[in-house]
Amino acid sequence: MQRMGTLDISKSTLEIGDDTTSELLPRISDMLVKFNAVLSVLKAPKDGAREQLRHLDVEELLERCEGFDAANEAFTLSNQRKGLTDRLKNIDDTLAIAEMFEGTGVDFSKLHSNVLDFKAVKLERKYAARFRELIAKAKARHQMIEKELRDREWLFFIAYSRDRSNEIDAAVKSVKHIEINLAGGKLDSTPAEMRRRLDAEKAEIKGAMADIDGKIAQVSGHNYFEVAALAEMLEVEYERASISSRFKKTQKVFVLDGWIPRKRLRELRAAVAKCTDNMYQFDEIKTKELAPTYTERPKILGPFGFILNFYSVPRSDEIDPTWIFIVSFVVFYGMMVSDVGYGLISLALATLIARKTDPEGLMNNVARIWQLSAISIIFFGIISNQYLGFSIAALNFLKLFDWTKDTVNIILITAFIGIAQVILGQAFSFVNKMRHHETKLAVSKITSIIAILSGVVAIGGLLFHAFGSGLSTAAAIISIATFVATGALSGIEASELTNLITHPLSYTRILGFGLASVIIAFLIDNAFTPTLSHGILVFIVFLVIFIVLHMLNMLLGIFEGIIQSIRLNFVEFFSKFYTGNGIRFRPYYFRRRYTKDN
């Protein structure tokens, strides 16, 4: 089953005994922790051959790991390096204190007294005068040394009589401060002497760390892939040993419950029959339990599913909005930036990030979404004839709209996009409510759609004379009636009725951000386009300013494009129908990189 990756195994609810986990599980777990620690300090050779190793039997695997000298050596070196790193941090912390006290005349070796206490605090300059007043008012005998530090901060060192220490403590607590620990073991001489001694100790530790790094590099060069393969085998065996706790058993029978995509059911039946010599019983159980959410998307669109799951996994009993999210996000983002130059730069940066980051990580998925969105930026830049704010007359035949001249049309287009997406959201909600047998709420979604459509006709006819007066009046009556009916049917959801009006209008922000990006680019071009007419020095200065300002405008457009595109989807669209909080389908499966199954 692990090899097939078809079954999401769940805990059986049958009233029979649980299977016990393997007695080898503790050994496997300890060894896995050790090998993962080793793997974290090793580096994969860039040109090393990587041949997949055959998966070992668990007993053989444990013996191999326990007797693997290179891994044991790397583990020891890793612990030694960690100890040196901790020592280096302590030295750096002590050196920072020594630097603060340089020039004050304080000798830490003499800070021992039966009658005096010592305190050192660091605080912002604006609190310094107030602190001096508070200390001066204290009746305890004291002596104070102060020093101005970098970053508008002051250091105060106070020696005071122990019998009235509460007065000094009260003064310190009255201002915002950072107290410096004077009890550190390395604070044992003057700041200058400490610096000389600690710098030498630091150099010695760095030399030892460099020696350890060299030895670790040697282990990496010869053993990295073998360590990675053994760690992978241990992880596979750990999962196998752990998963058995979800099984139920009698003396002669194992019982296993799980979820599987229906199209792979035949494949699972064949595998079980082969493994058990047809000695099995296969039952499909009807249950009210919510099934895990199983989705299949083309690899190129996988990052959108990753982001949607990052927000909230769709439930298995509701419509998966990923495809609508994909299209609308890319289109909205492209419209709000819409410049060929910005699109090409974005595409280059996104491609670089995608190549340099972990394919399974958040940054990589964001970068791959950015790549697709950059193509959208280029497309909308071409049809609006925008190239770093310039319009190219020879390419006007491709121009379909002008941000500065077609604002009314763009407002109407974005508003209609908003109306279409809100209606689609209500239609999705109708389907979801019907699936949950919430008929009354489902009908309210239909009446809300009618209210929106008839309202559009009424406004278009009565305010803009787009339709005849009779049709417009009838549409207005229908809109009001269905609006009231929606409120009556939807009950607690009636509070959302105002969103049916405000959310479509929210989509006009696409015009605002798109127009702002174009106008800022136009102003940059008019003010700072470099020419050689004023000399080479002016040309270079203007070129630098031109590049910097366009980069800032591009980054602003990218940031706003991402935020607003996500908002239009998650707030204006998803709020109409999306419940989320689903359970991801997680098949019992392990993706092998360094090993192959027997």
Among candidate residues 181, 216, 241, the one where a domain is terminated: 181
For position 163, what pLDDT does the model report?
A: 84
- Long-range pairs for 428-434 at CB < 8 Å and ≥24 separation? 428/318, 428/319, 428/321, 428/576, 428/577, 428/578, 429/576, 429/577, 431/319, 432/317, 432/318, 432/319, 432/577, 432/579
Backbone angles phi, psi at 293, to 5 degrees: -90, 120
What string of DSSP letters covers 526-553? HHH---GGG-HHHHHHHHHHHHHHHHHH
pTM as predicted: 0.69
Helix (H) or strand (E) holding 158: strand 153-161
Kindly report the CATH number assigned to the domain that includes residue 132. 3.30.70.100
pLDDT tens column, 545-562: 999 999 999 999 988 888
Q: Which domain holds residue 522?
A: 299-398+405-576
Tell me the range of 109-118, 199-208, 249-258, 478-487 where mean pLDDT is highest: 199-208
Does residue 361 lie within any of the structural domains?
A: yes
In this structure, what token pair is assigned to residue 215? Answer: 């030895």
Q: What is the residue whose two structure tokens read 């709000």?
A: 336
Question: Is the domain of 163 the same as that of 308?
Answer: no
Last residue of a domain, one of 181, 206, 228: 181
Domain membership flag for residue 61: no
The rounded distance, in Å, linking the Cα atoms of 145 and 125 is 15
The 8-class DSSP code of residue 19 comes to P
For 94, counting Cβ atoms within 10 Å of its Cβ (0-12 exposed, 13-18 middle, 19+ buried), the class is buried
Model pLDDT for residues 211-224, shown as the tens digit of each residue: 999 999 888 888 88
Number of residues that this document lists for the chain = 598
What are the distances in angstroms from CA 94 to CA 69, 83, 98, 106? 38, 17, 6, 15
Give the mean pLDDT of the chain.
88
Q: How confident is the model at residue 48 (pLDDT cuts 50, 70, 90)?
A: low
Examine residue 471 and state whether it is found in any structural domain, yes or no: yes
The answer to whether 468 and 482 are in contact (CB under 8 A) is no
**pLDDT reading at 49 higher than 60:** no
DSSP string of 73-132, one letter each residue: HHHHHHHHHHHHHHHHHHHHHHHHHHHHHTTS---GGG---SSEEEEEEEEEGGGHHHHH
Q: How many angstroms from the chain centroid is the CA of residue 77? A: 33
pLDDT higher than threshold 70 for residue 404: yes
Local confidence band at 13 (pLDDT 50, 70, 90 cut-offs):
confident
Cβ 560 vs Cβ 18: under 8 Å: no
User: What is the three-class DSSP state of 86?
Assistant: helix
Looking at residue 450, its pLDDT comes to 93
pLDDT, tens digit (0-9, with 9 covering 90-100), for 72-114:
899 899 899 999 999 999 999 999 999 999 999 999 988 888 8
Rounded CA separation 454/478 (Å)? 6
pLDDT tens digit sequence for 183-241: 766 788 999 999 999 999 999 999 999 999 999 988 888 888 989 999 999 999 998 88
CA–CA separation, 551 and 134 (whole Å): 51
Residue with tokens 């019998």: 163
Instruction: Determine the angle formed by the axes of helices 469-490 and 439-462, rounding to 10 degrees.
Output: 150
Q: What is residue 390's DSSP assignment?
A: B
The span from the CA of 32 to the CA of 60, in Å, is 15
Three-state DSSP class for residue 135: helix
298 or 562, higher pLDDT: 562
Domain end: 181, 199, 217, which one?
Answer: 181
Q: How far apart are CA 497 and CA 499, in angstroms?
A: 5
Domain contains 29: no
Q: What is the pLDDT of residues 334-369, one digit of tens each?
A: 999 999 999 999 999 999 999 988 887 888 888 888
What per-residue confidence (pLDDT) applies to 241?
85
Answer whether residue 492 shows pLDDT above 80: no
Q: Give residue 107's Cα distance to chain centre.
A: 49
Q: Does the residue 81 lie in any domain?
A: no
Q: How many domains does the chain have?
A: 2
Strands 257-259 and 8-10: antiparallel
Percentage of the chain modeled with pLDDT above 90: 45
Separation between Cα atoms, residue 187 and residue 495, nearest integer Å = 66
Phi-psi region of 388 (alpha: psi -120 to 50; beta: other; left: phi over 0): left
- What is the Cα 225 distance to its own chain's centre? 29
In angstroms, the CA 348 to CA 338 distance is: 16
Measured torsion, CA atoms of residues 486, 491, 492, 495, in degrees rounded to the nearest 10? 30
Do the domain assignments include residue 118?
yes
251 within some domain: no
Q: How many CB atoms lie within 10 A of CB 135?
A: 19
* Mean pLDDT, residues 566-587: 90
Whether residue 598 is predicted with pLDDT greater than 80 in this model: the reply is no
Question: What pLDDT score does 50 carry?
Answer: 67
pLDDT (mean) for 515-540: 90
What distance in Å separates the CA atoms of residue 309 and residue 303, rounded to the nearest whole number?
Answer: 10
Max Cα-Cα span within the chain: 100
- Residue 562 included in any domain: yes
